[in-house]
């Protein structure tokens, strides 16, 4: 039931473009509970737009701007005063040790200026109870600055919360392991919802002074298995099928999987089939490598598919395992989707992956930096499982999803927590 609280959800592009697919699982739960508005803050193209529930208010998207290098630097210098007063001594120490970070700071300042200029009129004119940024990035910093500078005629400052996934969480993903204004944001924010226990531990360890602001909130998926047909799989001793679902970018290391499959061909006598779902800048190099190295493996690159199409394609392929070779993860929704369909997972033990993959219960864990032979050895072991053992893994995978990654359970709990935060803010002294 919708209440009177208005929540502003800030996304990168959603519902435009093809990314951020997993937000779709969350929207119905938010829109059922709140008066929900969505602000896409960095849209590259308006060509593709996904459907939203009728109750959702989609604000005018902010089109991503392209700058020449000189103009970007000059604009960043102009916007720099927004950041400078908020830098911690740790930030200044990072910059002094690594002067190249000045360019990163200028870029961040420019993005921050755009975020603030976009958010200020929205927040000042509308009675917003909460600003929820889907990514813990510059939009979060902008929301906090706008919230804390609201005009005194506003009754209550909006609550500001964010999710933290992977690139927006781990500082090691950035130049010299530095994220501008991270400490300021953690001090000022009301709640950070990490999507994995690993994320909670990371933030609590690196920023202990703000550990009380960090909470766990797993993402989740609908029960696709309840609406899709259950398909039989070929016997493992006849055909071994695997599926990978990832953007074709370097961090996903799909080339490693190709090299592992080329080694696996000499280890197994059964047929090998591999389906990859996903596209990206590395597509040509990965496909060329597969054509060069794979002799017996039947493989297909399905390209980018919308979320439900990807689920249906994965289900109809009826794989024995989902395989991930990514070197960095939050807690992948693709693994939740696979386990919902009873597909065990083989993946590198990075980020929150060990929270969903339990060795020899619902899958297998690879080292964080596996060699092709290590991956091939694990695939061989998986292919040599008895049918009864594989069935046990499949059942355990579905149970893992039901226990920890159901969208209905997780998002119901999440919106209840958001509602409680708003109620607490309204009943406390959080007035301008």
Say if strands 6-11 and 363-366 run parallel, antiparallel, or are unpaired.
unpaired
State the CB neighbour count (10 A cutoff) for residue 4.
Answer: 8
Contact 297, 272 (CB under 8 A): yes
Shortest CA distance to 344 belongs to which of 329, 361, 332? 361
Give per-residue pLDDT as tens, 53-102: 999 999 999 887 777 778 777 888 888 888 888 988 888 888 888 888 88
pLDDT-derived band at 138, boundaries 50, 70, 90: very high
Residue 154 pLDDT greater than 70, yes or no: no
Give per-residue pLDDT as tens, 213-242: 999 999 999 999 888 888 778 888 899 999
Mean pLDDT across the stretch 300-309?
Answer: 94
Ordered alpha helix ranges (H), 318-386: 333-340, 372-383
Give per-residue pLDDT as tens, 92-102: 888 888 888 88
Give per-residue pLDDT as tens, 236-257: 889 999 999 999 999 999 999 9
SS (H, E, C) 56-109: CEECCCCECCCCCHHHHHHHHHHHHHHCHHHCCHHHHHHHHHCCCHHHHHHHHH
How far, in Å, are 139, 164, 201, 214 from residue 193 at the CA level? Answer: 15, 6, 12, 6
pLDDT-wise least confident of 179-193, 338-352, 416-430: 416-430
CA distance 126 to 298: 56
pLDDT-derived band at 153, boundaries 50, 70, 90: very low
Q: The tokens of 188 are what?
A: 């000022």
Q: What is the enclosing helix (H) or strand (E) of 6?
A: strand 6-11
Contact 68, 83 (CB under 8 A): no
CA distance 227 to 243: 20
Cβ neighbors of 288 (< 8 A, separation 6 or more) are: none
Residue 112 pLDDT greater than 80, yes or no: yes
Q: The tokens of 297 are what?
A: 């493996």
pLDDT at 430 (0 to 100): 54
Q: What is the enclosing helix (H) or strand (E) of 33?
A: helix 23-33
pLDDT-derived band at 152, boundaries 50, 70, 90: very low
Residue 189 pLDDT greater than 60, yes or no: yes
Residue 150 pLDDT greater than 60, yes or no: no
Residue 24 pLDDT greater than 80, yes or no: yes
Peptide bond preceding 15 in cis form (omega within 30 of 0):
yes
pLDDT-derived band at 2, boundaries 50, 70, 90: low
Helices (H) and strands (E) in the chain, counts: 14, 13
Q: In the chain, what is the straight-line distance between the N-terminal and C-terminal CA atoms, in Å?
A: 30
Can you spell out the DSSP letters for 285-317?
Answer: HHHHHHHHH-SS-EEEE-B---HHHHHHHHHHH
Cβ neighbors of 271 (< 8 A, separation 6 or more) are: 234, 238, 239, 240, 296, 298
Mean pLDDT across the stretch 191-219?
Answer: 97
Give the DSSP letter of residue 157.
Answer: P
Q: What is the mean pLDDT of the chain?
A: 92
CA distance 217 to 417: 10
pLDDT-wise least confident of 16-20, 208-212, 334-338: 16-20
pLDDT-derived band at 163, boundaries 50, 70, 90: very high
Query: 125: exposed, middle or buried (C-beta count within 10 Å: 0-12, 13-18, 19+)?
Result: exposed
Share of the chain above pLDDT 90, in %: 75
Strand ranges of the sheet holding 214-216, from the earlier edge strand across to the other edge: 57-58, 35-40, 6-11, 130-133, 159-164, 191-194, 214-216
Residue 429 pLDDT greater than 60, yes or no: no
State the CB neighbour count (10 A cutoff) for residue 325.
Answer: 24
Mean pLDDT across the stretch 121-133?
Answer: 89
Give the DSSP letter of residue 358.
Answer: -
Mean pLDDT across the stretch 282-303?
Answer: 97
**Angle between the N-to-C axes of helices 69-79 and 101-125, in degrees from 0 to 180, rounded to the nearest 10:** 60
CA distance 104 to 94: 12
127/335: higher pLDDT: 335
Domains and CATH numbers, the chain: 6-220+408-427 (3.40.50.2000), 224-405 (3.40.50.2000)
Q: The tokens of 244 are what?
A: 């990978």
How far, in Å, are 124, 135, 175 from residue 167 at the CA level? Answer: 30, 9, 12
């Amino acid at each position: 039931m919708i209440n009177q609280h208005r929540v502003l959800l800030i996304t990168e592009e959603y519902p435009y473009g093809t990314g951020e697919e997993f937000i779709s699982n969350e929207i119905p739960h938010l829109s059922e509970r709140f008066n929900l508005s969505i602000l896409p803050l960095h849209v590259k193209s308006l060509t593709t737009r996904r459907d939203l529930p009728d109750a959702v208010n989609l604000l005018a998207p902010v089109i991503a701007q392209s700058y020449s290098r000189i103009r970007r630097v000059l604009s960043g210098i102009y916007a720099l005063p927004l950041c400078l007063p908020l830098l911690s001594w740790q930030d200044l120490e990072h910059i002094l040790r690594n002067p190249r970070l000045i360019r990163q700071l200028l870029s961040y300042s420019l993005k921050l200026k755009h975020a603030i200029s976009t958010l200020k009129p929205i927040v000042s004119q509308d009675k917003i109870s909460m600003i929820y940024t889907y990514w813990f990035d510059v939009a979060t910093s902008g929301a906090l600055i706008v919230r804390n500078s609201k005009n005194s005629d506003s009754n209550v400052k909006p609550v500001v919360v964010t999710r933290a996934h992977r690139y927006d969480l781990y500082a090691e993903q950035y130049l010299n392991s530095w994220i501008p204004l991270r400490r300021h944001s953690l001090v000022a924010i009301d709640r950070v919802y990490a999507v994995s226990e690993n994320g909670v531990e990371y933030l609590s360890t690196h920023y202990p002074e703000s550990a009380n602001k960090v909470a766990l909130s797993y993402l989740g998926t609908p029960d696709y298995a309840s609406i899709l047909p259950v398909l039989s799989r070929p016997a493992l001793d006849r055909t071994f099928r695997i599926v990978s679902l990832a953007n074709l970018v370097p961090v996903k290391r799909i080339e490693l999987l190709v090299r592992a499959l080329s080694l696996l061909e000499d280890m197994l006598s059964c047929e090998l089939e591999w389906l990859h779902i996903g596209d990206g800048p590395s597509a040509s190099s990965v496909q060329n490598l597969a054509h060069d190295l794979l002799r017996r493996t039947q493989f297909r690159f399905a390209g980018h598919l919308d979320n439900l199409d990807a689920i249906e394609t994965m289900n109809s392929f009826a794989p024995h395992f989902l395989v991930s070779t990514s070197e960095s993860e939050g807690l992948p929704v693709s693994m939740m989707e696979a386990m919902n369909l009873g597909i065990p997972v083989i993946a590198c033990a990075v980020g929150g992956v060990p929270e969903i993959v339990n060795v020899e219960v619902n899958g297998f864990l690879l080292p964080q930096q596996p060699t092709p032979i290590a991956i091939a050895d694990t695939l061989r072991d998986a292919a040599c499982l008895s049918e009864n053992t594989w069935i046990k893994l499949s059942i355990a995978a579905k149970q893992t999803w039901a226990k920890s990654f159901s969208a209905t359970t997780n998002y119901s709990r999440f919106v209840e927590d958001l509602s409680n935060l708003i109620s607490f803010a309204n009943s406390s002294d959080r007035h301008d």
